[in-house]
Structures are given as C-alpha cells and as structure tokens.
Structure 1
C-alpha cells in the first residue's frame, strides 16, 4: 500500500518479551501496538499525558489481532498504523506488522473511543486531532469488530483473578492487555504449550475496578483449537469482556 497518512514505529524484541520458545508473547504484541498508537498521538502534539492533564484519553472498545508468526529474540519489526475512519467520538485504528524483510507477519484493528476520564463517558474528538492524523480509507483486516460476541453461560475451564493496582492504567480502568492475559491463563496447557495464538477477536463491555475478583471463563468451540471466552465480575452478572480465539500449531 502506498499512501501518506500512516505512522511507522520500529522495535527490537527483547529477552523478557519472549516465551520459553524464544518468540514474543501475544500480550507483548498488544503492548507494542499500544506503544505505537501512543507514539502516533505524541507525534501530533497530543501525547497521552497531555490529554490526561485535560482529563481525557482513548479507550479501546473492540479489536482484533491476527498473527501469522511471532517475532523472535533480537528481531526487528515495524508496526505501521493509521486511522481508516472517524465518527464524532470514535475512530478505527488499523495496524500492519512487518518483519525486517518487510514481510507482513501480523495485522490488527481497533475501535477507540475518546473518553472523559472523570465523567466516564465518551466526548467529541478534538478537531485538531482528526485534522493532524487525517485518515486513509483502507483496512488492515476486513472484519466487523462492532459485531456482538455473546458471553458464555457456562464454561469448560474457569480461573479467578483479583484486580490489583498494577492491572489498572492511567485511564483508571483495567488495561485491555490484562484481559488478554486472563483469557490465556484459562486456556488448557496442552494448547498453550503446543500452539500459538493466531487470532483473538474481543469486545470490552464493562469496566472492572481495583479490588474486584474476576472470573475468566473459557469454552471449547466445535472448530478445533477455537475457544470462546468471557471475563465477568465474580458474584454478579456484570460481563467485562467477551472474545474468541483461534490457535495454530507451531
């Protein structure tokens, strides 16, 4: 693709970002995608700490990640990001992940909402942000990330987690990377030991708060190595997130 309205960020993968096989973990890839988005924000003079001073920020409400392979130790990658469309309060962020030979190894798409942190509600995106970012009407992944993923009523695998201070971010809510970690922790070990996360499609519904205990529910689907997931608050009907994952053999 040849166009002007993108932002590139290069990374060299580090030792502590590796799993036992020497490949980057899914949570690390999400972290690098977030870092790229944060640097894109910084590049137009609206870094996340400047926005925080105004009590506003960006909240991910849905997203999809597809990885054909994960980068290895010391490998250099480039994440290319751009905005494909806006409404008054939200925008679609596209991402392509290249290896050092410019081969595509992954793609991601996220729907982000501009958010009043104190009032906990969406607000209109600043016009200057939209003007400086501009947009390019090309998608990294052709999929509807607004489509509802039904929460689970029962599960094959369950795990419990307490929301600690380090689980929350500058927007005063549980970071989306933590939800992915909770999902992975409820996947059977024979899957995580022998397969890699090829695809995750997730929806963020209700905020979990510091001190909550969350349940990570996982159910096997009919398609081999595919799972449905729900994160909910223990002792309530509050669903925080729902997702589907697909795993592939190494």
Structure 2
C-alpha cells in the first residue's frame, strides 16, 4: 500500500498502561488511538479545544479494533491514521499500529460524526478540515461497521455501574473507552486472565448521562471465546451500545 495524506504518532508504553503481564491493555490502545486522532486535528490547526470554542466536536458512532498482539512495557509503537472517506457530516478514520520493526500489530476503523455539542445533533464538517486532512481511499480493516449488532436479550453475565463525572469527556458525553471498560468487566475472569482481546466491533446508539445507572450485559456465543454485549440504562429500554468481542489465548 502506497501511503500519502496520513499522520503518524509515536508512543512508548508506560508502566501504568500495561497489565500484570507487562502488555498494553485494550482500553489503553483505544486511548492511544484517540490521542493520535486528537493530534491529527491539532496538526491542521483545528485542535479539539479549538473546536470546543466553536461548540463543535467529533463523536464515534461505530468502530472495530483488531489486535494481533499487544505492545510490551517500554516498547515503542507508531500509529498511522488517515481519513478514507467523507460525507457531509461524517468521516471514516483508519488506523494501523506498527511495532519498532515496522510489523503491523493492530488495526482499527471508526465512523465519526461531526456535531453541535449543545444541540447534540450533527453539523456539516468544516471545509477546511476536509481540505487539510484530505483522504486516502484505502481501508485498514475490510469491515462494514455500519451493520447493526443485535442487542443481548438473554445475558449470561451482568454488571452494574453508575455514570460518574470522570466517565464523561469534554464533549459532555460518556467517553467511548468507558464503554469498553464496562464490557470487559462483565466478561468471566477465566477469559480475561488467560486470553487477550483480539477484536471488538461496536456500535454507539444513545448517550448515557451523569448519574445514570448502566447495565453491562454479556452473552456467550457459539463460537469459542466469543461474546455479544449490550450496555443499557437501568430502568429503561434505552440501549447505549452493542458490541461483539473475540478473545484469543496468550
């Protein structure tokens, strides 16, 4: 693949970003992907804080992360990101994660919508953003991330969480990473202790608010070490997110 119109960001994994095996956690990988996207915005003069002053921001509506392996403590990695397609209000962000030897160790794809923070509705992407980012019509993962994921109706495992202030971000909604944490917490320990998260495919449907109580519902699928997930608000039928995960042995 010949690259152009991309942005590279390097990281060195720190102690608090790894688990007891010295490997980066899935939530940290999502955080590094978000940091790369934020730096890409900053690089064209439209940082997330600049957008906040204009009452604008980005919200993730669907995405997939696939890891071949997780980087080790002190390992240096490079995340390469680019936009593969735009519409009037949304764009597809692609990501490839490289190790120090330029081997691909992971990939991610996300569908982001540009929106008005106060009115909580989509708005047109600024033309200057599209012009400066441009795009590269290449996929990091060949996956239809608009395809609906059916909500769990017969969970095998359930956890309950309260939405606290630290769960929300500058856009005043629950951060995407928190949903992944809630999903992982509802998976049996024998899986999380002996397997790594190979893939998560998720859809974000509705916002949870500060003070809500959310339920993380997990259903075991027929395929070994695969699960379906739903995050919903307790006391209502409001579904905030759905996902599927695949786990592989270390």
TM value normalised by structure 2: 1.00
Paired residue for 1:64? 64
1:153 to partner: Cα distance: 1.2
Paired residue for 2:142? 142
Paired residue for 2:187? 187
* Aligned residue runs from structure 1 range 58-207, under 5 A: 58-207=58-207
Aligned pairs, number:
250
1:154 to partner: Cα distance: 1.9
1:144 to partner: Cα distance: 0.2
* Aligned residue runs from structure 1 range 191-230, under 5 A: 191-230=191-230
Runs of 4+ in 1 over 3 A off after TM superposition: none
> 1:217, 1:55 → 2: CA distance?
34
Paired residue for 2:12? 12
Paired residue for 1:27? 27
C-alpha root-mean-square deviation of aligned residues, in Å?
0.4
1:3 to partner: Cα distance: 2.2
| Unmatched runs of 5 consecutive residues or more in structure 2 | none
SS in 1 for 2:111: strand
| Unmatched runs of 5 consecutive residues or more in structure 1 | none
> 1:220, 1:14 → 2: CA distance?
33
> 1:118, 1:198 → 2: CA distance?
36
TM value normalised by structure 1: 1.00
> 2:232, 2:20 → 1: CA distance?
30
1:39 to partner: Cα distance: 0.2
1:152 to partner: Cα distance: 1.0
